[in-house]
Amino acid sequence: MKKELLMASALVTTLGATSVAQAVTATMAGSMKVGAEFESPDSGTDTNNISDLSNFNVSLSETTDGGTTISTSFEIVDEGAVAADDDNAIKLTFTDGSALELLNAGNAAGTHVVAVPGAGGEQGITGTSLNTAPGDVDFAASATGLGVEWHSAADFLADGLSMSASYSTDSGAASTAAARQDSSWGVGATYVTSAGDTALTIGGGVAESSVSTSGTQANSDKGGFNIGLSAVTGDLTIGVGYGDDDTFVSSTTAGSNIEVDGSVLKAGVSYVTGDVTLALGVASGEAKDGVFGTAGTTDDSSDSTSASVTYAVASGVSAVLGYTTVDRSNEGSSTTMGGSAWYVGATMSF
């Protein structure tokens, strides 16, 4: 009991709390999406369903007498089954603009991923779990819950430059047949500049994680790099991103953990004209996978093209029409993998 009291006192002292608890400042935001999706797989039966998605986010923040801001947030998401997002750090933002995230801090390589424009809507074609081709450029930039991430202030070392560094450690639990991620580190940077009337953002990062299993080890640990570029000229935004990483798929069956060597290229463009936003995005991912200790030799692939038209009906209310077409292959075979999908719906945000 004495140890627990000492730990509690240390935490209170670290956060600079007063002896009397006060309510922190809370802000809320959320949205409700309702629409219909129509899927047409290359092989099989056409289907349609109603998409009913909602989320509610609460951000909590307070500033100490010394000027340090303490903040965190939580989110409740309803996508058919209510779930709480508990992967949120406690963030300390200091008077010089730098910040430190404690617990569930994430990986710095993912923090600096450049946003690439993409189509709106909730359309998509369900793929096979055997296909390991990635869709996001930071697919290997992950961390365990017991981690920290440092963020520099703006204009760090040079005008327009910001940087982050992160580290997480493993739980100390014994390894099992199912592979898991242990400790990780990551570094990332974003540089913002201009070229005439165009605002340019360049960002990316490097990540590495160790993989633990009681069985055969993977040929390489989890990790890699991502890089991206975004250019904004008036109402036109163009972006491109690339990631090349090693990762894994865990299995509870001894000897069947899968190691993955993958890469993905994403590009997109959006244009705002009045109340209408036009968007087009493409993504091309590929991977070689194999049972731990045996590198893959044939490609999994996933190539998608998506487009959407979004109309601002009123303040906080938008209607969207979206379309996606997907081509996939698993171990070089494209049978029954792809298809196309439409979505029509509306979003209300606050």
pLDDT of residue 124: 85
pLDDT of residue 256: 86
Domains plus CATH for the chain?
Answer: 34-349 (2.40.160.10)
Which neighbouring-strand residues pair with 185?
167, 208
Radius of gyration of the chain (CA): 22
Q: CA 144, 150, 156, 161: dihedral to nearest 10 degrees?
A: 20
Distance CA 234, CA 178 (A): 50
Per the CB < 8 A criterion, the answer to whether 282 and 267 are in contact is yes
């209170």: which residue's tokens?
12
Question: pLDDT tens for residues 127-184?
Answer: 666 788 888 999 888 898 899 999 999 999 999 999 999 999 988 888 888 999 999 9
Assign 7 a pLDDT band (cuts: 50, 70, 90): very low
Average pLDDT estimate for 272-290: 95
Nearest to 125 by CA among 306, 330, 346, 347: 306
Full-model pTM: 0.84
Question: pLDDT tens for residues 17-61?
Answer: 444 456 889 999 999 999 999 999 887 788 899 988 888 999 999
With residue 67 as reference, give the H or E element that holds it. none
Q: Where are the beta strands (DSSP E) in the chain?
A: 25-41, 47-63, 69-78, 82-85, 90-93, 99-102, 147-151, 161-168, 180-195, 198-212, 222-233, 236-249, 258-273, 276-291, 299-314, 317-329, 339-349
Which neighbouring-strand residues pair with 73?
59
Lowest mean pLDDT among 62-66, 108-112, 294-298: 294-298
Distance CA 289, CA 246 (A): 10
Assign 87 a pLDDT band (cuts: 50, 70, 90): low
Eight-class DSSP state of 125: -
H, E, C per residue of 175-223: CCCCCEEEEEEEEEEEEEEEECCEEEEEEEEEEEEEEECCCCCCCCCEE
pLDDT of residue 127: 65
Q: CA 161, 151, 168, 87: dihedral to nearest 10 degrees?
A: -110
Tell me the CA distances in angstroms from 202 to 163, 192, 227, 279, one per residue in order. Answer: 12, 6, 8, 21
Distance CA 52, CA 310 (A): 18
pLDDT of residue 2: 40
pLDDT of 115 over the 90 cut: yes
pLDDT of residue 128: 65
